[in-house]
Structure 1
């Protein structure tokens, strides 16, 4: 399982470590295979806590279109006839799930294949939903995002991924204060928030991004296919 977080403060150090690790593993394929098995086992354990998650139209930005089953969402250039709601996002193209969690562990998966931009994760109940929003743990957002089809970020941290994930798994351990993101197909850990201070309800958070070059591919909350 390979994950490299590149920050502006230490690009050379992180790059050199990455090269050493890659060269070492390329000389011993058995170690790489063992890592894959360990990564798959960790993902399987997270998938055991899968929950049914559906989108809440009362929280949706008026330019978002939701499917009838609450599992798919995409951004339109036409404002939807949806009444204003104190719980809705009026500027950012965001939406929350109906379900909230204030204890235990939970997991869900989202299909993002073919999308040029998206945001995923969890947020605390009391986040700002009106006006300009900065997604950061300090503001109650534990999320990752894709921009312009190739730039991945977790808050202010830029992420370097081996592959573009087609499906992302989100795992939250409320008591342990952690949020983990997985590439479901490879079982690679994309990012891991730790030492999070959870004191209120958490809601799964989604954004399909604004229209980008006519790309309105839907973001899809998918069924979790757990395999031991």
Structure 2
């Protein structure tokens, strides 16, 4: 694998591997699922389209990042201040994310075991929100599985 230098762009994250999904959301209720498989680390959630993407970033709800993180294989936390550690008994292989823009809620589900992981509640959203995905660090070749956005039946 070879790293390519990319031109600086205000929409590009420069200190971490994060991809944002489309469409962005300004209202409504939205749900999607992400297959995480056997990854040893990942970050999933939602960020404000206007959130900072440059330099050292603190992924927190205060900074426009509502995320669940899995680090070091089965250590989970959410982007509260300070970060909240989660006790998850059964590692999800698939994570569901539900956004209710008007209610100000974002919920994360362990789809594999049909359980709630965490809910951010009663935020006053303003502006566009986007799905957010990070495959995590390489972890010496142990974290090579992809994140897969799963098609949803209508």
TM over 0.5: yes
Match for residue 34 of structure 2 among 80, 97, 110: 110
| Matched residues, number | 150
**Distance of 2:128 and 2:95 partners within structure 1:** 22
**Distance of 1:186 and 1:162 partners within structure 2:** 10
Spell out, residue by residue over 1:4-32, the C-alpha distance to the aligned partner (whole angstroms, 9 max, x if none): xxxxxxxxxxxxxxxxxxxxxxxxxxxxx
Spell out, residue by residue over 1:45-81, the C-alpha distance to the aligned partner (whole angstroms, 9 max, x if none): xxxxxxxxxxxxxxxxxxxxxxxxxxxxxxxx63236
Q: Secondary structure of the equivalent of 2:139?
A: coil
CA RMSD of aligned residues (A): 1.4
Unaligned stretches of 5+ in structure 2? none
**Distance of 1:114 and 1:181 partners within structure 2:** 18
Q: Secondary structure of the equivalent of 2:148?
A: strand
Which structure has greater strand proportion? 2
Q: Secondary structure of the equivalent of 1:158?
A: strand
* Aligned counterpart, 1:147: 71
User: Are positions 1:80 and 2:21 aligned together?
Assistant: no
Deviating above 6 A after TM superposition, structure 1's stretches of 4 or more consecutive aligned residues are: none
The Cα of 1:83 is off from its aligned counterpart by 3.6
User: Are positions 1:121 and 2:48 aligned together?
Assistant: no
How do 1:149-164 residues align onto structure 2 when only pairs under 5 Å count? 149-155=73-79, 156-164=83-91
Q: Secondary structure of the equivalent of 2:130?
A: strand
The one of the two structures with greater contact order (alpha-carbon pairs below 8 A, sep at least 6) is 2
The Cα of 1:162 is off from its aligned counterpart by 1.9
**TM-score w.r.t. structure 1 length?**
0.63
Which structure has greater helix proportion? 1
